[in-house]
Structure 1
Amino acid sequence: MIKKLTIKEIAELSGVGKSTVSRFFNDGYVSETVREKIEKVILEYNYEPNAFARGIKARNNRFIGVIVPCLDSTITSTILMQLDNRLRILGYIPLIINTNHDICLELANLENLSRLNVEGIVLVATEVRDEHREFVKKSKIPVLFVGQICDETYSIANDEIEAGKIIGNYI
């Protein structure tokens, strides 16, 4: 397996600084001579930038975090399939995280996704705690709760009481 080059290695092979290589990749000013040196190294070593690493640094990276309590549930599977299809149609990339019904892991992954700079988070929450509400209040990332109501953000939940009344009246 061929080792991927780092920006540092490209800089060394090109005889320029890391910041110059960074400017090159971010379409900043680089002299034509230096540009040619960097392009020569890139072509020679078949360098391809890490799309994920570049994406998490970007403001509009098109990643949506999806946190679910389990992967072996018919309901969760259905939600994930439909969500995945819709996100892809809209040009987003879902990052799916399973918590195994562990609320501490759920909360930790909210923070992890925030650090990854995702554009949004869909949370199929086990339950809504004060920690969830605090995260929503302090985060600039939009969060959608599915299956639970969180007054601090958007929520989608079935109204079982009303559904029961409608079914009872129908019968």
Structure 2
Amino acid sequence: MEKQTITIYDVAREANVSMATVSRVVNGNTNVKPATRKKVLEVIDRLDYRPNAVARGLASKKTTTVGVIIPDMTNMFFASLARGIDDVAAMYKYNIILANSDSNGEREVQVLNTLLTKQVDGIIFMGNEITPELRDEFRRTKTPIVLAGSIDEENVNPSVNIDYVAAVQEEVKNLIDRGNKKIAFVCGPLSQAINSKYRLKGYKEALKSAGIPYDEKLVFETDNSYKSGMLLQPALSSMGVTAAMVSDDELAAGIMNGMTDAGVKVPSEFEVITSNDTKIAEIVRPKMSSITQPLYDIGAVAMRLLTKLMNNEEVTEKNVLLPYGLMKRDSTK
């Protein structure tokens, strides 16, 4: 069956009113007689008329659509952020196009350009890394872009995050205070500023304050997968490590299970702290201690910030830092 497009003209003809009247009914304009409104709505319902958002966008130069670039839809960290974005978008009557970039620099540029060709009014970027190529694209476009849970070293784009340096520093200090001298720092790629310039910095500062020399052999760079975490056990055990500060929950779960499988008792012989406090931290046994981030709020605040930029409202604070917490569970003493 061929798809038939019902236009505003068809509705006007059937209801025997002008197209302007149909437009007023569709847009909720009160300047229409109740009887006329009822008649028009009945015709809209019968014909299954749906206003053409593309045509409307051409007329208003606005599509009321926002592009959201997410590095990994299966990672609960990003899924929770997206939820906050979506709820605020709905509140301000924006639609969302969600695009997966697979944490791949080239694909991120490609996805960004695809969204821009769709004439989105704004973009929320949740990538792990801003490559020079991506930065160039950000500079070129006039479309407002907000970063959510992503770090821009150059602070060019507005962003919403927590203070990653302070959070990691506090958690590592807690591990040191409990008598751990050999603490591993396990993270995703160090090419990502969030790991190298922020989390690692917090780790180093905690060691320095405690007078423990920094040993780069205790820094383990990997990807954020569960499997990679499982495979780290022999290396961690051979270094005599008694605790690990980990950058991702899935990775941390892998490390913890790898240790348990090798007969190392968590937390009495090995403590684990993770960074994102997604559902994974509570599903595993023992439950994992974690830095807590207001994930939903990061998404929600990023979307609210974007609505201000899209409507040319004044933005006083471009780089928002939301409060973090520390959740003590069973993977630490």
SS at match of 1:134: helix
CA contact (8 A) 1:5 1:47 kept: no
Range with greater deviation from structure 2 (161-170 or 105-114): 161-170
What's the counterpart of residue 20 of structure 1?
Answer: none
Letter of the 1:59 partner, please give it: K
What's the counterpart of residue 157 of structure 2?
Answer: 153
Please tell me the root mean square deviation across aligned C-alpha atoms, in Å: 3.3
Deviation per residue, 1:121-146 (Å, 9 max, x gap): 00101311112211121111011122
Q: CA deviation at 1:100?
A: 2.1
Give me the whole-angstrom Cα distance separating, in 1, the residues matched to 2:163 and 2:110: 28
1:122-161 correspondence to structure 2 within 5 Å = 122-150=124-152, 151-161=155-165
Paired residues in the alignment total 146
Q: CA deviation at 1:157?
A: 2.9
Question: What residue ranges of structure 2 are gaps of 5+ in the alignment?
Answer: 10-21, 24-43, 178-333
Give me the whole-angstrom Cα distance separating, in 2, the residues matched to 1:107 and 1:6: 36
CA pair 55-131 structure 1, distance change in 2 beyond 3 A: farther
1:13-162 correspondence to structure 2 within 5 Å = 46=47, 48=49, 51-57=52-58, 58-150=60-152, 151-162=155-166
CA contact (8 A) 1:133 1:152 kept: no
SS at match of 1:88: helix
CA pair 161-59 structure 1, distance change in 2 beyond 3 A: same
Give me the whole-angstrom Cα distance separating, in 2, the residues matched to 1:106 and 1:86: 24
CA pair 131-55 structure 1, distance change in 2 beyond 3 A: farther
SS at match of 1:114: helix
CA contact (8 A) 1:56 1:116 kept: no
TM-score norm. by structure 2 comes to 0.37
CA contact (8 A) 2:146 2:158 kept: yes
Q: CA deviation at 1:91?
A: 1.2
Q: CA deviation at 1:56?
A: 4.9
Give me the whole-angstrom Cα distance separating, in 1, the residues matched to 2:124 and 2:5: 34
Range with greater deviation from structure 2 (54-63 or 100-109): 54-63
Letter of the 1:54 partner, please give it: A
Give me the whole-angstrom Cα distance separating, in 2, the residues matched to 1:3 and 1:158: 48
Range with greater deviation from structure 2 (98-107 or 65-74): 98-107
Give me the whole-angstrom Cα distance separating, in 1, the residues matched to 2:111 and 2:6: 28
CA pair 92-86 structure 1, distance change in 2 beyond 3 A: same
SS at match of 1:133: helix
Question: What residue ranges of structure 1 are gaps of 5+ in the alignment?
Answer: 11-24, 27-42
Larger Rg: 2
